[in-house]
Structure 1
Amino acid sequence: MSLALVHSRALLGLQAPDVTVEVHLANGLPSFTLVGLADTEVKEARERVRSALQSSGLDFPHNKRITVNLAPADLPKEGARFDLPIAVGILAASGQIQGDLEGLEFAGELSLAGDLRDVRGALAMAVALQRAGSTRTLVLPRTSAMEAARVPGLQLRLADHLLDVVQALQPAETAQALATPQPAAPDAPPPWPDLRDVKGQTQAKRALEIAATGNHSVLFVGPPGTGKSMLAQRLVGLLPPLREEEALESAAILSLAGQFDPRGWARRVLRAPHHTASAVALVGGGSPPRPGEISLAHHGVLFLDELPEYPRAALEAMREPLDSGRIRISRAARQAEFPARCQLVAAMNPCPCGHQGSPLRACRCSPDAVTRYQARLSGPLLDRIDLRVEVPVLPPEVLNAVADGEPSAVVAERVAAARTLQWQRQGCWNADLEGPALDEHAHAAKAALDFLHAAALRLGWSGRSVHRVLRIARSAADAAGAADIGVAHVAEAIQLRRALAAA
């Protein structure tokens, strides 16, 4: 009887718990049994491993009773990442390799010819290995290894074929070392659309700068063709590059969905799902739980066009993660938690026909139809959106004039300076200030506070709205380089918030 132990990792949300692949060969009727709460993809590894070993010229123990256990047995396992560790375990148990397996971890999908294919979640596995303080070396397929190479202080090797791993696990005098991957150099980012391309809309541009300064959510409201989508698509160009830890978190989430490109390292993402997206598509779900759009946009921008057209349940499901920055998905058998600290930008028409308030075309909607349309957005959801900006119809002479306003590069410099000041002062963005930190860092003059309290009483604002106005005013003050919040900053914040409350 022979027994081999090989280390690997499962995926449970962003966590990657340790899994030991135990392979036992015994005499008896030939069989290949795989146990340990494995899903269908993992169970199919039996045929992939059998074919890969035979195609690579290696011996498959046909006359043995093979038992593979994925421990711990109560941890769900999914995906094809266990192909490589199962194959290595069979080779070790049958005496075809003699290398030390205790200091190694394996993950990779095998083709029928023995080639190694990439797996989802390589970054999550690498981060888990680093945080555990383990000294093991992680062996991955090439592209997955290029992803994992972004994690500092990690022992990492890459392999293109099963035979590469076999040769590396031979006795020292004949072994051939696996290559060490280097992080792929990120490509020069393509230029985002320039803010200067948007003609007119001075107030909307100013609101976009304040939103970028404090990481605030914003809702653009106006008739079709006024530039709402153009404004939303230009927000990413105003934001500074991701910091190292932010880039790692964003890449890890995208890696779980198989959408991370190592050449796009440290770039903020812009996610724009169609309005037919379900609640599961927006916030995540499924079995096993997968991240939704709000998590895939982590540290980036989530753009929801035609906001009232989204299913009501999908929009209501976003309320809690918009506040907390995290989403916990609970199913009967599995639970997972994903980060969801993205910047929401939404756009909508003022009425079903879209022309309410337009000087060019008359609105055909009845008052009841307008009320029903706007009521698709609940008060609690609107209360969680910081800025609501009217985007009016522009006269033809403005649209045909030479482009005015500042380019994105100039505005981005001011935003970067204000964000640096915020991080040095409070360690978070203004939109994340709460509790004692809000009282300490959103300090306002007495006249400004009196003005805010009077406006809140008159407009019937909730405590959440008052605090959000203070955060917006703090961002307006930072954009102006002011140490304290003045009456002018509060007035501008109220103006940007008042229409939201009126809706």
Structure 2
Amino acid sequence: MTIARVQCFTFSGIEAVPVEVQVQISRGLPAFLVVGLADKAVAEARERVRAALSAMGLSLPPKRVLINLAPADLLKEGSHFDLPIALAVLAAMEVLPREEVGEYAALGELSLDGSLNPVAGVLPAAIGASALGLGLVCPAAQGGEAAWAGDIRVLAAPDLLGIVNHFKGLQVLSPPELAGRAPASAAPDLAEVRGLETARRALEIAAAGAHNLLFVGPPGSGKSMLAARLPGLLPDLSPLEALEVSMIHSVAGILDGGRLVMRPPFRDPHHSASQAALTGGGHRARPGEISLAHRGVLFLDELPEFPRATLEALRQPMETGRTTVSRASAHVTYPARFQLIAAMNPCRCGYLGNAARECGRAPRCGEEYRMRISGPLLDRIDLVVEVEAASPAALSRAPPGEASGPVATRVAAARERQRVRAGTAGPVTNAEADATQFALVPEARTLAEQAAERLGLSNRGFIRTLRVARSIADLAGAEAIRRTDIAEALAYRPRISERRG
């Protein structure tokens, strides 16, 4: 009596945790047992495996078939265990050579006819298999995704029979080609935004340093229009960032065709989204919107309409760049280094300050509406801009604004200055940098310190002001932060004390 072994993986965040599928066929009453803390999807694999073998003209022996998923105290979730269980069973039945099968990890979902369906997590699984010195067996549709792991043997088959024939030497599965890069979605051009020069300037500064930005203005003033044009100003992701973002999308099952994500993601959840949907969680602790926006933009329109607890859950990830989903059985951590862009009306009716249209509860309605955004959350927002609605006459006569191309060029140059200044091991953007290391001219330092004292800025607010000033200086090509850079950064700083008073 021997044991056949095939390597597989379960996932903790974007980390692929090795799981060994062990199969023992022994004498006893016919049974097909799965042990090792498997969830319902894994337990159901026995029926899919039985049907897939039957489609190939094989049947399980009338013996006791025991499948153990080791380590036994680690929760196993998902249908991707179907393929390694089937391969281990075939190896235990001596249909496949055990030594050759043991040189590969596997994941994939079986259909009843033996075909292989795509599953989530192929990219991190391929990277994990490569680290173990193993190849990877996966569905044909995801061979290109697995190939991004680098120097790894990938067997991408359309069905279980193709894998059996490959190991038996009856056919050869060719190595898959790289899936390529995901095409960049066409971002609307900034030239379509007429007027709103202050808001356009703030958007450029936010793009240059990956700073958090809040637009406040009446309905139809252009807040969402400006936010939608931010992705067109951002540079491509670096190879390391692209791999990290693609791994998150792979685990979430949204990596389109296995193609690498090269553009910063843009996520805009509705304000009815739950806390688990935004920060991660659910039955299988899936990544939330803040992780899917990693190294990209999270746009929250109608910010005060989000549940208070949901917004407060953003505070820690905005500081640390990661989020941890805690469960009784496990703690799962996902990267969440996102840039928050938010928009809100000045009050519930939206027309506070417009005597002809505001409601009868003004200005108290505006105070109550803004109080939905807590001080600690507002303190984490670097730039706040009041967006005034232009009159129809002014809008129709205004010339087209500067196009996205020249602005994106300036942003890319500013990002390159940050990269050179920080070095290869330093922070990617000014939003993550250590502001105490910034060079300031004496007049700028004096103004920053005096303003922080007079405006009652928190230590966080002071540091974030310096970071914004550094981005302004980078856009101008200045080596040190100047007094004018500090003054402009302070003009965008949210005034928590005024908000409360």
Q: TM-score range by the shorter chain?
A: over 0.9
In structure 2, how many angstroms separate the alpha carbons of the residues matched to 1:285 and 1:445? 46
1:316 paired to 2:315: no
1:65 paired to 2:60: no
CA shift for structure 1 position 256: 1.3
77-86 vs 278-287, greater mean Cα deviation: 278-287
The aligned length equals 493
**What residue is the counterpart of 2:198 in the other structure?**
203
Alignment of 1:90-169 (within 5 A): 90-98=89-97, 100-130=100-130, 132=131, 134-169=132-167
Query: Match of 1:333, SS?
Result: coil
Change over 3 Å in CA distance of 1:500–1:153 after alignment to 2: farther
AA of the residue aligned to 2:334: F
1:223 paired to 2:222: no
In structure 2, how many angstroms separate the alpha carbons of the residues matched to 1:229 and 1:239? 17
In structure 1, how many angstroms separate the alpha carbons of the residues matched to 2:52 and 2:243? 33
Alignment of 1:306-385 (within 5 A): 306-358=302-354, 361-385=357-381
Give per-residue Cα distances to partners, 1:402-437, cap 9 Å, x unaligned.
542211011001101110110111132100012xxx
**What residue is the counterpart of 1:7 in the other structure?**
7
AA of the residue aligned to 1:323: E
Q: Is the 8 A contact 1:84 1:107 kept in 2?
A: yes
In structure 1, how many angstroms separate the alpha carbons of the residues matched to 2:355 and 2:455? 28
Q: Is the 8 A contact 2:242 2:260 kept in 1?
A: no
1:194 paired to 2:189: yes
Alignment of 1:212-291 (within 5 A): 212-261=207-256, 262-263=258-259, 265-291=261-287
In structure 2, how many angstroms separate the alpha carbons of the residues matched to 1:25 and 1:180? 33
1:468 paired to 2:441: no
In structure 2, how many angstroms separate the alpha carbons of the residues matched to 1:501 and 1:146? 54
Query: Match of 2:52, SS?
Result: helix
State the percentage of identical aligned residues. 49
In structure 2, how many angstroms separate the alpha carbons of the residues matched to 1:403 and 1:257? 44
**What residue is the counterpart of 2:474 in the other structure?**
478
In structure 1, how many angstroms separate the alpha carbons of the residues matched to 2:276 and 2:181? 32
Aligned-residue CA RMSD (Å) = 1.5
Q: What stretches of structure 1 of length at least 5 have no aligned partner?
A: none
AA of the residue aligned to 1:78: E
Query: Match of 2:148, SS?
Result: coil
Alignment of 1:376-415 (within 5 A): 376-401=372-397, 403-415=399-411
153-162 vs 304-313, greater mean Cα deviation: 153-162
Q: Is the 8 A contact 1:271 1:293 kept in 2?
A: yes
AA of the residue aligned to 1:183: L
452-461 vs 16-25, greater mean Cα deviation: 452-461
Give per-residue Cα distances to partners, 1:441-496, cap 9 Å, x unaligned.
x2111111111122112211111101100000000000011111111100100001
Q: Is the 8 A contact 2:352 2:363 kept in 1?
A: no
Query: Match of 1:394, SS?
Result: coil
Change over 3 Å in CA distance of 1:13–1:138 after alignment to 2: same
In structure 2, how many angstroms separate the alpha carbons of the residues matched to 1:364 and 1:392? 21
In structure 1, how many angstroms separate the alpha carbons of the residues matched to 2:497 and 2:227? 21
CA shift for structure 1 position 499: 4.7
Alignment of 1:6-25 (within 5 A): 6-25=6-25
Give per-residue Cα distances to partners, 1:42-80, cap 9 Å, x unaligned.
00000000000001222322x111000000101110001
2:436 to 404, 417, 439: 439
In structure 2, how many angstroms separate the alpha carbons of the residues matched to 1:422 and 1:110? 48
In structure 1, how many angstroms separate the alpha carbons of the residues matched to 2:192 and 2:495? 26
Give per-residue Cα distances to partners, 1:142-192, cap 9 Å, x unaligned.
23222222222232221110011101221xxx3423221111233542320
In structure 2, how many angstroms separate the alpha carbons of the residues matched to 1:225 and 1:500? 26
CA shift for structure 1 position 330: 1.0
Q: Is the 8 A contact 2:10 2:18 kept in 1?
A: yes
Q: What stretches of structure 2 of length at least 5 have no aligned partner?
A: none
